[in-house]
Amino acid sequence: MERIRVRASWQERFAEASDVLKSSQRQQTVVRVLDLEIGGSDFITMAGPCSVETEQQILSIAAHVRKQGARVLRGGAFKPRSSPYAFQGLGLAGLKLLAKARSETGLAIVTEVMSEDDVPLVAEYADILQIGSRSMENYTLIEAAARSGKPILLKRGMMATVEDLMRSAQLAIGAGNPNVILCERGIRTFDNALRNTYDPAAIALLKQISHLPVIADPSHACGHRELVPALARIGVAAGADGMIVEVHPQPEKAWSDGEQSLSFDEFDGMMAMLEPYIALRGAANRTLVGRVG
Ligand code: PEP
Ligand code: MN
């Protein structure tokens, strides 16, 4: 397989994140979690509620999304909320419910860690530590999470450039953890029609220049469940290695982010719709390798 070279101007532009860039030694990082490979040939779906709410809620979601092909269960136990009065998450009780869902379904767990002090606790339960958008510039948190040895899911800050995201990833790699997954989840722009502005060009760029796996978050990227399947499809087409998506049995009753959460039926419809696009993605990736420098 011919190796992709990163053009010299991008190497200069992103010199401060040089370990994030593809190199002749490192073309693609594959993050291994339980029996999964993220950044390998499979498109990996991570699905679950915004927040872990009750045992019944998380176990029913886990069973459902697994049946539909998800490989990772998402769910916040520590929630960064814009309002101090909003639900802040179940904390340790939520982590224990996620672990129970893993033992019942075999799904790997991704959940957010918000503070350096919580890293050992969250790392004890989670398979992947999520660094949220609001924490992407919390460098001490990123280093502590990286030092735990668990893979890191690094979400793009809502005001962050692609370079900012790469610099934060560089920090995790510099702390000795090469298992970093980058996530495009929408940014703030002058357009306020939707919750955020989705930036699939960032996915395409990162796939071009970085060896790290890149995933799309179509839920936070728009904030409206009607648009989530289309944004997921765009993520697949842009070359993402996977997606993270919010699902809830009763979205209108969700304790957080109900507006953007898919019902079970909507999730099933989206997974069926994506199938041919995911099949095409495999073929397109094979054709592209070696042709674009
Ligand atoms: C989340 O995944 O529920 C979340 C809070 O995401 P973000 O950090 O991208 O806002
Ligand atoms: Mn959410």
pLDDT in tens, 31-73: 999 999 999 999 999 999 999 999 999 999 999 999 999 999 9
**Mean pLDDT to the nearest integer, 162-177:** 98
Contact, 51 vs 256, CB < 8 A? yes
Pocket test of ligand 1: the residue of 74, 152, 185 to mutate, having most ligand atoms within 8 Å of its CB, is 185
- Mean pLDDT value across residues 89-115: 98
pLDDT of residue 161: 98
**Residue 5 has what pLDDT?**
83
The amino acid present at 68, given as its one-letter code, is Q
Q: Is the CB of residue 132 below 6 angstroms from any atom belonging to ligand 1?
A: yes
- Is there an atom of ligand 1 within 6 Å of 156 CB? no
CA distance 232 to 234: 5
Residue of 51, 183, 217 with the most ligand 1 atoms within 8 Å of its CB, for mutation: 217
How many C-beta atoms surround the C-beta of residue 222 within 10 A?
22
- Position 246 pLDDT exceeds 90: yes
Local confidence band at 292 (pLDDT 50, 70, 90 cut-offs) = low
CB of 179 closer than 6 A to ligand 1?
no
Quick one: which ligand is closest to 111's CA?
1
Q: What is the mean pLDDT of residues 211-223?
A: 98
Give the number of whichever ligand sits closest to the CA of residue 187: 1
CA dihedral 284, 177, 100, 90 (to 10 degrees): -110
Q: How far apart are CA 79 and CA 210, in angstroms?
A: 29
117-145 average pLDDT score: 98
pLDDT computed for residue 184 by the predictor: 99
DSSP state of 223: S
pLDDT of residue 275: 98
- Bridge-partner residues for 154, per DSSP? 131, 182
Query: Could you tell me the pLDDT band of residue 87, with boundaries at 50, 70 and 90?
Result: very high
Give the model's pLDDT for residue 82.
Answer: 82
- Check pocket membership of 51 for ligand 1, CB cut-off 6 A: no
155 Cβ below 6 A of ligand 1: yes
Residue nearest to atom 9 of ligand 1 (CA): 133
Give dist(CA 142, CA 26) in Å, integer. Answer: 22
Averaged pLDDT score across all residues of the chain: 96
Residue 243 CA to ligand 2 center (angstroms) comes to 14
Task: Name the token pair of 287.
Answer: 């054709």
Residue whose CA is at the smallest distance from ligand 1 atom 3: 50
* Residue located via tokens 């703030």: 188
Lowest mean pLDDT, pick from 74-88, 124-138, 188-202:
74-88
44 lines ligand 1 (CB under 6 A): no
Please tell me the least confidently modeled range out of 47-51, 55-59, 85-89, 223-227: 85-89
Pocket test for ligand 1, best of 46, 141, 155 (most atoms within 8 A of CB): 155
pLDDT at 293: 45
Instruction: Pick the ligand that lies closest to the CA of residue 112.
Output: 1
Ligand 1 contacts CB of residue 50 (under 6 A) = yes
Residue 289 has pLDDT above 80, yes or no: no
Q: How confident is the model at residue 19 (pLDDT cuts 50, 70, 90)?
A: very high
Query: Is the per-residue pLDDT at 123 higher than 70?
Result: yes
CB-based neighbours (< 5 A) of ligand 2, an ion: 50, 257
pLDDT of residue 3: 72
pLDDT band, very low/low/confident/very high, at 74 (cuts 50, 70, 90): very high
Report the pLDDT value the prediction gives residue 283, as an integer from 0 to 100: 83
For residue 76, the CA-to-ligand 1 centroid distance in Å is: 9
Q: Is the CB of 195 under 6 A from ligand 1?
A: no
The percent of residues above 70 in pLDDT, for the chain, comes to 97
Q: pLDDT band at residue 290, thresholds of 50, 70 and 90?
A: low
Task: Give percent of the chain above pLDDT 90.
Answer: 91
pLDDT of 286 = 75
